[in-house]
Each structure stands twice: as C-alpha cells, then as structure tokens.
A and B are shown apart, each in its own frame.
Chain A
Amino acid sequence: MSWLLLAGAVLAEVGGTLSLRMASTGGDRRWYVPLVLGYLAAFALISGALSLGMPLGVAYGVWVAVGIVLTAVLSRILFREPLTPLMLAGMGLIVAGVMLVELGGVR
C-alpha cells in the first residue's frame, strides 16, 4: 500500500514538473494550476507513504530517482528534447548516486 502511495506521489510530481515547463515556456498561466495541485498531491501522498512506515531514505531516493528518469523520457516524447545515449548514461549514474546517498543511511 505504501508503494502505491509512493507511485502516486511520483506521478503527481512528474505531472507538476511537466506543467512547470508548459507554464514557463508556453506563456499560458493556466498551467500553474496543475503545477501547484501536482506538487501538493505529491507531498500529501509521500506523507501517507511515510506514515505507513516506509523509511524516509527509501521513499525520497525512489521518488527523486524515478522522477528524474520519467521526466527525461516524457520530455523527450512530449517536447522532443534531445536525449542521446551519452545523456542517458549520465542519468543512469545520477540515479545510482541518488539511491546510494539515500539508502547509504538506511540500516
């Protein structure tokens, strides 16, 4: 159950981030609504996951790592941003590093 909440938090946060891109570059201020709602929902859902006993390091590490990859892949699809094999390799290093930082403190 706590993993479902975490998955919901990641999706809400990625949705909010994509809205930030639309609000900043598209000039349509209505995108600020899903931006704020997405982030509020993300914080509520991750609080729920933590209250169900998920360790903070696990929740935060998975949240950031999956968020980074999903955002990069969706930006490639939705906004046609460049995503070369070299950039993907760098993202892989970042994700591994984030997980080590967060899980390195979990006992």
Chain B
Amino acid sequence: MTAWLLLVAAILSEVTATLSLRGALDVPALYVLVVAGYVLAFTLLGQVLRRGMSLGVAYGIWGAAGVVLAAAGSALLFGEVLTVLKVTGFVLVAAGVSVVEIGSQRAQQAADGAAASPVAATGAVHAGGEEAR
C-alpha cells in the first residue's frame, strides 16, 4: 500500500517537473522546480522498488501516468488543445493501468499461495530446478 502511495507521489513530482520545464520558457526561476522535481521523482521511484513493487509495473504506470497528466496539465495551464484522440488515449491508459494493477495483484496472490502451500511450494522448487537445467 505504501508503495502505491509513493508511486503516486513520484508521478506527481515528475509531472510538476515536466510542466515547470514548459513554464521555464517564460519564467526561468522555474528551472529550480524542474531539477528538484526530477530528483525527487527518481528518489521516490527508488523507494517504490525497495518496497518490492516490480520494476515493469512501477515504470509502466509511472511513465504512462506522466504522459497523461503532463498533457492534461498543459491543456489546463498553457491552453494546449485537447483533441478527441488525446482524450481517447487518456481512457486507454487509465484502463491499461487498472488491468496491469489487477494482473500484478493476481500474480502476487498466486505467488503467495504457492509459498503458503507446501505441496505447491515443492512443485515450484521442482519447476525452478527444471528451468535452471
């Protein structure tokens, strides 16, 4: 649970940095926010990984959510046009993030189940041995 909250914080830092980069064209002082935001985003992402979230899941959600929120933020702050295609993309990304999240929770439950059941665990060790050979 903490890992997911940290991931949300990492996404928000990255989006803040990206939008500041756009804003720094007019207000150079915002470069401070750009650097601070990216450094904080990577630090938080490292903490997410340390808490056991898989890199494929964390990075996929971080990257995609960053793209969507940066596009939405640009529309809000800088008046960039939101086309129907872009909004369709937002919906697809949101759906994809949910599917990945559900899939990774199921994979986690399957792994926990295998660890809890002695028979299944033996099977897993055996299967692992097969794979190693």
- A-side interface residues toward B, CB under 8 Å? 17-18, 20-21, 23-25, 60-61, 64, 67-68, 71-73, 75-76, 79, 81-84, 86-87, 89-105
- Cβ-defined partner of A98 (8 Å) among B42, B67, B99, B102: B67
B68 interface residue, CB < 8 Å from A?
Answer: yes
Given contacts A87-B100, A104-B83, contact A72 B56 (CB under 8 A): yes
Contact (Cβ within 8 A) A76 B56: yes
B124 interface residue, CB < 8 Å from A?
Answer: no
Query: Which secondary structure characterizes the binding site on chain A?
Result: helix
- B-side interface residues toward A, CB under 8 Å? 42, 45-47, 49-50, 54-57, 59-61, 63-64, 66-68, 71, 80-81, 83-86, 88-104, 106-108, 110-111
- Cβ-defined partner of B60 (8 Å) among A72, A99, A103: A72
Tally inter-chain residue pairs, CB-CB below 8 A.
Answer: 146
Q: Give Cα distance in the complex from A25 to B111, angstroms.
A: 20
Find chain B residues with CB under 8 A from A105 CB: 80-81, 83, 86
Contact (Cβ within 8 A) B55 A94: no
Q: Give the Cβ gap from B60 to chain A, nearest Cβ, in Å.
A: 5
Q: Give Cα distance in the complex from A97 to B91, angstroms.
A: 7
Q: Give Cα distance in the complex from A93 to B60, angstroms.
A: 11
Find chain B residues with CB under 8 A from A91 CB: 56, 60, 96, 100
Find chain B residues with CB under 8 A from A81 CB: 54-57
Contact (Cβ within 8 A) A98 B93: yes
Please, which residue of chain A has its CB at the minimum distance from the CB of B54? A81
Find chain B residues with CB under 8 A from A73 CB: 56
Contact (Cβ within 8 A) A97 B68: yes
Please, which residue of chain A has its CB at the minimum distance from the CB of B96? A93
Find chain B residues with CB under 8 A from A20 CB: 42, 45-46, 49, 55
Find chain B residues with CB under 8 A from A86 CB: 99, 102-103, 106
Find chain A residues with CB under 8 A from B106 CB: 84, 86
Contact (Cβ within 8 A) A82 B111: yes
Q: Give Cα distance in the complex from A104 to B84, angstroms.
A: 8
Contact (Cβ within 8 A) B98 A100: no
